Amino acid sequence: MRRFLPVLIILAVAIVTAATAAWFYHEKMRPDAPKPSPALATDSATKPSSTIPPDIAAPADPVPAVDSLHVRGAAGAPVTLEVYGDFQCPSCAKTTEIIADLEKSYGSKLRVVFHEFPLAMHAHALEAAMAAEAAGVQGHFWEMHDALYKYQDVWSKASNPGRFFAAYAETMGLNPAQFQADLQSVQINSQIKTQGDAGVARGVRNTPTLFINREEVKGIFDPVSMRSAIDAALAGKKGT
Amino acid sequence: MVTRRAQGKSKAARKPGRGQTIAGAIMAVIALCGLTDATFLTVMHLTGDDSVCGPSAGCSKVLSSVYASVGKVPTAAFGMVAYFVVFSAAVCLAFGYAKARTVLNGVVAVMFLATLGFLYLQAFVIHAFCPFCLLSAALTFLLAGTALASWPSR
């Protein structure tokens, strides 16, 4: 019996590990699909109506008007904060909240540029990036950007997040047919890939990666350190 | 002939010394902790969930970096395999299979070098640390320490 005991112990550990991993994986992947509509209803109720234009007509130009860069803020802002983000990355969602506060407090001194950097490890990241870009074609990139991060917990656990994206698009007043068509667009897909490749060429390896006035921000992205980085950039601009 | 066979058998699984049993048992327990950690990280990676990091953006940076996987295989999965091999070898060692020490030392040496590499990446390339990866590093160092301390003196 003693002769077989090591084999039995090893087998038992292998079986327990495999079973636990399989159970854990199954639990994490279980679609708990909560309805998106209440959250969106709250969102649209709290947002000023001016952020969702009533005109939802498709642009006349059939070529998707997706800029390779998405910019929010004053064009002449002394500080440009570039974000390489993945919509399914939890720390990107947290960083986005911090950036939103910074945008409020720095006003016209700060502009934000978003670059797509969907990571392969996140099952729905590319789909979400496509949704943001598809919304961008109709001039609503930033609304979709904000919604995707705000409701990340909801759609990222769903087996079919596309229906959430469609619901968000509908709330924003986008043309649903065009939105669905753009979600499948090869051109948009290649634009996302181009943005990702450009990030890799620039040394981006993970998300979120931030640049302030083209200098990579190192370390932890908490409000205090980000404020001091922006203040330093502002001081540098004044000095020159 | 019979004597030789008996000798061979006794070499394969001779009654272990007390030190060998203790070293094997300690290393098996450490490897089991590492296996749990690596399994957890592998599943989190496969499900695309790095929320285990909580508010730590640094941790998320590590787990979502390009170094977190080799192709489509999570780096943590290699850790799982390595810890399992170490666990198996340590159990065999504790039960008197002296040859298991060779496998054990070899795998622990590779893990030790890999851990140094991962620590370098976290400190100087990613500029962030992941607590679960640091735990794995600490366990690997403990394994290496135990392997060295229990090295048979001739």
Distance CA A73, CA A113 (A): 9
Interface with A, mutate which of B37, B45, B61, B62 (most A CBs under 10 A): B61
Short-list A55, A74, A80, CA closest to A216: A80
Order across the sheet with A110-116: list the strands. Answer: A70-72, A110-116, A79-85, A209-212, A215-216
What is the model's pLDDT at position A37? 31
pLDDT at A239 over 60: no
For A81, the enclosing helix (H) or strand (E) is strand A79-85
What is the model's pLDDT at position B78? 96
Region of A219 on the Ramachandran plot (φ > 0 left; ψ -120 to 50 alpha; else beta): left
pLDDT at A50 over 90: no
Distance from CA of B112 to the nearest CA of A (A): 23
Enter the ipTM: 0.80
Distance from CA of B25 to the nearest CA of A (A): 11
What is the model's pLDDT at position A68? 57
Contact B32 A13 (CB under 8 A): yes
Contact A95 B125 (CB under 8 A): no
Distance CA B67, CA A205 (A): 8
Distance CA A190, CA A56 (A): 25
Q: Where are the alpha helices (DSSP H) in A59-161?
A: 90-106, 125-137, 141-150, 152-155
Contact A220 B128 (CB under 8 A): yes
Q: Mean pLDDT, chain A, as a whole number?
A: 80
Contact A13 B35 (CB under 8 A): yes
The mean pLDDT of A164-169, rounded to a whole number, is 90
Q: Is the C-alpha dihedral spanning B126, A205, A159, A167 positive or negative?
A: positive
**Residue A99, amino acid:** I
Which phi and psi (to 5°) does residue A82 adopt?
Answer: -100, 135
- For B61, the closest of A123, A125, A206 (CB atoms) is A206
Find the closest chain A residue to B73 by CA distance.
A121
Per-residue pLDDT of chain B (154 residues; tens, 9 = 90+): 444 544 444 445 566 678 888 999 999 999 999 999 999 989 887 776 666 665 555 676 777 777 888 877 889 999 999 999 999 999 999 998 888 999 999 999 999 999 999 999 989 888 878 888 999 999 999 999 999 998 776 5
pTM score of the predicted model: 0.56
The segment with the largest mean pLDDT, out of A57-61, A154-158, B105-109, is B105-109
Which band of pLDDT confidence, cut at 50, 70 and 90, is reported for residue A4?
confident
Contact A90 B67 (CB under 8 A): no
pLDDT at A57 over 90: no
What is the model's pLDDT at position A34? 34
What is the model's pLDDT at position A128? 95
pLDDT one-digit tens code per residue, A171-186:
899 999 999 999 999 9
Q: Is the C-alpha dihedral spanning B76, A202, B119, B109 positive or negative?
A: positive
Distance CA A148, CA A74 (A): 23
pLDDT higher at B136 or A44: B136
Which phi and psi (to 5°) does residue B73 adopt?
Answer: -95, 120
What is the model's pLDDT at position A62? 29
Least confident of A30-39, A154-163, B2-11: A30-39
Find the closest chain B residue to A22 by CA distance.
B43
pLDDT higher at A206 or B82: B82
What is the model's pLDDT at position B124? 87
What distance lies between CA A120 and its chain's CA centroid? 13
pLDDT at A42 over 50: no
pLDDT higher at B62 or A86: A86
What is the model's pLDDT at position A240? 52
Chains A & B: contacts with CB separation below 8 Å: 98
pLDDT > 90: percent of chain A: 47
